[in-house]
Amino acid sequence: MPVDVHLPTVLRSQAGGARTVSVEGATIGQVLHTLVETYPGLAGQVLTDEGTLHRFVNVYLNDDDVRYLNSLDTPVGESDEISILPAVAGGAD
């Protein structure tokens, strides 16, 4: 079943400029692995070489951070939406 994945501006060039792509998968992990197989330029930016979620990327299933769910094992449904956002860090003293 295809699931919509929303990409941030910084990653869109790796997906032909698309804001949203439709990707097959029953879990977050399957969706992300299919995403990087389809768009190889996203590989090092979304998943590590070991296949885990990159620590500088946040992935949301609807409005929930998948790290607080079942991470890559989180199941997805047909009406779910996945958003990939770059992590923001830093600040001033």
pLDDT grade for 78, boundaries at 50, 70 and 90: confident
Sign of CA dihedral 66, 50, 1, 4: positive
Q: Which domains does the chain have, with CATH numbers?
A: 2-86 (3.10.20.30)
- Provide the β-strand partners of residue 65: 60
| pLDDT tens profile 37-58 | 999 999 889 998 898 898 889 9
pLDDT of residue 90: 59
Q: Give the DSSP letter string of the chain.
A: -EEEEE--HHHHGGGTT-SEEEEE-SBHHHHHHHHHHHSGGGHHHHB-TTSSBPTTEEEEETTEEGGGTTGGG-B--TT-EEEEEE-------
The predicted model scores a pTM of 0.89
